[in-house]
C-alpha cells in the first residue's frame, strides 16, 4: 500500500506513522495543513519525496478549509500555509518545490474559489501518482547498474516509506531483485533515528531480499575487505555541481567507497535538484533535538551520562568528486556534474 493516500470521502490525508515501525503499523489521518506540518517536523512522514507530496496535500487541505470569500483572500491563506509547511524541515528541497508548485497552480486557475480548491486537490493527487511513476523509471535506470551477486551497502531508508510508493535508491535494489538478480544488502543502522535498522530492514523483509543490519561504522571494514561491490543512497537536496545533501553519515560512507574504488550512486527525482545553489556549501543543514542522540538505552539503561551534551545534524553533504553517478528519472548523470546535471534538467 501507499505511504501517503487521500481519502475523498473523509477529505483527509492519510499517512503511515513511521515513528513506530516496525513494532507497530498504524495509519494516521490529517484534516488540516498545520497537522501535516507537525507530521513532517516530527517525522511521522520522512524521506524527501514523501515530504514533498505530504506538503502538496497540506496545501490542498489549506484551500479546502479556508473560509476566504474571495480568490485573493484564499491565495493569502495559501501563502501563510506555504510558509508554515516550508518551516517544517529546511533541508529537503522537495518540500519547497511542492509548495511552490501548488502556489503557482492557485495563481493561474481561472474561475471561482471552488475551482481553485478543486484544482489544488487534483494537482496534489497528480503529483502523488507522478511520484510513483518517476520512482519506477529511476529504478529501471539504476537496476541496470546492479550485477547478479552484488553485495550493496544502503544508507538510511529510501524505499516506499520515503516516497509515495516504490522508492528511490531502495527502489533500484528492489527492481534488481525482482529481475532475478541474487543480491545482498548491508543495511546501515543510520543513527540516531535508526531509519535503516527500523525501516529499510522492515521493507527488505517484505520484499524477500537478503540483508544484514550493520553498525554505521562497519561499512568501511566491509569495503576494505572487498565484501561490497556497490553503494546506494538517496538525496534530500542536490546542488548544481552535483554535491548531495543526504542523511548524516553519507559523507563518511562516500569517503570509504572512494578510497576503496567502489562505485557510489545517489538516487533521486529531479525535483530534488536545486540549480540555484552552486555547491553543497550553501545547503541549509537541519540540526534536530539533541535528545535524539542522548535518549539511547542499552539493556534498559540510559547510555549517556545524565549531564551529557550532544550535537545532532540530521544531514551532511557529500562532495560530487566522491560520487560515481546521479540516478534520476531522466537518466544517469555522470561527471562532470556541473555540466551534465544542468543539461539533463533542461531536457
Q: Where in the sequence numbering do the catalytic residues fall?
A: 236
Q: Nearest 5°: phi and psi at 89?
A: -150, 120
Nine cell digits for residue 201: 530492514
- Angle CA 82–86–89, to nearest 5: 155
Q: Which residues contact 238 (CB under 8 A, 6 or more apart)?
A: 244, 245, 266, 268, 272, 273, 274, 326, 341
Name the 3-class secondary structure at 347: coil
Q: Which residues contact 344 (CB under 8 A, 6 or more apart)?
A: 270, 328, 330, 331, 333
Name the 3-class secondary structure at 144: coil
Rg (CA), the chain: 20
Nine cell digits for residue 312: 545532532
Quick one: which of 61, 62, 52 has its CA closest to 127?
A: 52
Q: How far is CA 283 from CA 170, 182, 273, in A?
A: 24, 37, 11
Annotate 232-287 with DSSP letters as a single string.
EE--SEEETTS-EEEETTHHHHHHHHHHTT--EEEE--GGGEETT-SSGGGS---B
- Angle CA 58–63–68, to nearest 5: 145
Residue burial 231-241, b: 16+ Cβ < 10 Å; e: rest: bbbbbbbbbbb
CA 340/CA 11 separation, integer angstroms: 42
Amino acid at each position: 500500500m501507499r505511504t501517503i493516500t487521500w481519502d475523498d470521502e473523509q477529505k483527509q490525508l492519510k499517512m503511515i506513522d513511521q515513528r513506530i515501525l516496525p513494532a507497530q503499523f498504524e495509519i494516521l489521518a490529517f484534516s488540516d495543513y498545520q497537522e501535516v506540518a507537525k507530521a513532517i517536523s516530527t517525522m511521522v512522514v520522512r524521506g524527501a519525496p514523501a515530504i514533498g507530496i505530504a506538503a502538496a496535500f497540506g496545501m490542498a487541505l489549506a484551500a479546502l478549509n479556508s473560509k476566504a470569500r474571495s480568490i485573493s483572500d484564499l491565495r493569502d491563506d495559501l501563502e501563510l500555509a506555504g510558509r508554515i509547511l516550508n518551516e517544517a524541515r529546511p533541508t529537503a528541497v522537495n518540500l519547497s518545490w511542492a509548495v511552490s508548485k501548488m502556489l503557482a497552480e492557485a495563481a493561474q486557475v481561472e474561475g471561482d474559489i471552488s475551482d481553485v480548491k478543486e484544482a489544488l486537490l487534483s494537482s496534489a493527487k497528480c503529483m502523488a501518482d507522478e511520484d510513483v511513476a518517476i520512482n519506477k523509471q529511476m529504478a529501471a535506470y539504476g537496476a541496470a547498474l546492479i550485477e547478479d551477486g552484488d553485495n550493496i551497502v544502503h544508507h538510511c531508508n529510501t524505499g516506499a516509506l520515503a516516497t509515495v510508493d516504490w522508492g528511490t535508491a531502495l527502489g533500484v535494489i528492489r527492481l534488481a531483485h525482482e529481475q532475478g538478480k541474487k543480491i545482498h544488502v548491508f543495511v546501515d543502522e543510520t543513527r540516531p533515528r535508526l531509519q535503516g535498522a527500523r525501516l529499510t530492514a522492515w521493507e527488505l523483509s517484505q520484499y524477500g531480499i537478503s540483508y544484514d543490519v550493520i553498525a554505521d561504522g562497519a561499512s568501511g571494514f566491509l569495503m576494505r575487505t572487498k565484501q561490497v561491490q556497490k553503494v546506494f543512497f538517496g538525496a534530500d537536496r542536490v546542488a548544481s555541481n552535483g554535491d548531495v545533501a543526504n542523511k548524516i553519515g553519507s559523507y563518511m560512507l562516500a569517503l570509504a567507497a572512494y578510497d576503496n574504488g567502489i562505485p557510489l550512486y545517489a538516487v533521486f527525482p529531479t525535483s530534488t535538484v536545486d540549480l540555484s545553489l552552486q555547491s553543497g556549501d550553501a545547503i541549509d543543514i537541519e540540526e534536530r533535538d539533541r535528545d535524539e542522540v542522548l535518549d539511547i538505552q542499552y539493556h534498559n539503561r540510559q547510555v549517556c551520562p545524565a549531564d551529557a551534551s550532544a550535537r545532532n545534524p540530521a544531514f551532511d553533504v557529500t562532495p560530487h568528486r566522491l560520487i560515481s553517478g546521479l540516478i534520476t528519472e531522466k537518466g544517469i548523470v555522470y561527471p562532470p556534474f556541473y555540466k551534465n546535471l544542468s543539461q539533463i534538467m533542461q531536457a
